[in-house]
Amino acid sequence: MKLTWLGHGSWRLEAEQAVILIDPWLDGNPAFPEDRKAEALEGATHVLLTHGHDDHIAGVPEMAKDRGLPVFTMVELAGQLEGVEATGFNKGGTVDLGGVQITMVPASHSTSYNGGAAGTEVGYVLKGDGKCVYFSGDTGIMADMEWIGAYFEPDIGILSCGGFYTMDMEQAAWASKRYFDFEIVIPSHYKTFPALAQDAEALKKGLKGVDVLEPGVLETVEL
């Protein structure tokens, strides 16, 4: 499995026969180098969206339409993506994307799309290449993390933990210890704006014994 950070809360995951773009906000993302878009999109097979806020979806429908990429997301949001091959499913549901098993799980945040309702915000559990990844999406600490950790037993956590809009680093460390048994934790949704955390030192301090990785933008981590 390969994971590549695309800046902010955007990721590229390569596993099995799939190259999945998760919340690939590339147009207007201040953390993403515009001249490297082709590199980020090369070989992509699917798009996975957690919710409809602009910092996760801006430019994505147009990109998916242009490249013929199928989009998978919350059912109400999928229904609003005109001109896109969009599959809507819901919490507890599982889809197979090129051999990667992806289950939609709750998150605790908010969502909208073009000023209107877009279902609810979510996270995902992704299984492929012998790995199990919990992708939190935008969320605060929530009780649902207890069953997600117990049921799926993910070994890797990609956690939105920049603070202000989501958990901060200290909260993410606490939740990781309380609800999960991660071998690897990777911070997300940070370094983008001044209001967000600019490094993961507090996360590392709070997770002694866990491998906290802090890749740079477009740096690939092979697991």
Mean pLDDT computed over 89-106 = 98
In a domain, 169, yes or no: yes
What is d(CA 165, CA 179) in angstroms, rounded to the nearest whole number? 21
In the numeric block, the tokens 């197979």 are attached to: 96
Q: Which amino acid is at 168?
A: D
In a domain, 222, yes or no: no
In a domain, 200, yes or no: yes
**pLDDT tens for residues 21-32?**
999 999 999 999
- Judged against a pLDDT cut of 90, whether residue 62 lies above it is answered with yes
In a domain, 223, yes or no: no
- Specify the 3-state DSSP secondary structure of 123: strand
- Judged against a pLDDT cut of 90, whether residue 183 lies above it is answered with yes
Start-to-end C-alpha separation, the chain: 5
What is the residue range of 136's domain?
Answer: 2-216
% of residues, the chain, pLDDT over 70: 100
In a domain, 105, yes or no: yes
Residue 57 main-chain phi, psi, to 5 deg: -130, -10
**pLDDT tens for residues 77-87?**
999 999 999 99
Instruction: Check which CATH number belongs to the domain holding 84 and give it.
Output: 3.60.15.10
Confidence class of residue 175 from pLDDT cuts 50, 70 and 90? very high
pLDDT of residue 208: 95
- Judged against a pLDDT cut of 90, whether residue 115 lies above it is answered with no
- Specify the 3-state DSSP secondary structure of 151: helix
The total of structural domains in the chain comes to 1
- Judged against a pLDDT cut of 90, whether residue 124 lies above it is answered with yes
Q: Confirm if 201 and 172 have CB atoms less than 8 A apart.
A: no
In a domain, 221, yes or no: no
Rounded to 5°, angle at Cα 36 from 34 and 42: 130
In a domain, 58, yes or no: yes
Sheet of 94-97, strands arranged across: 94-97, 100-106, 122-128, 131-135, 156-160, 184-188, 211-212
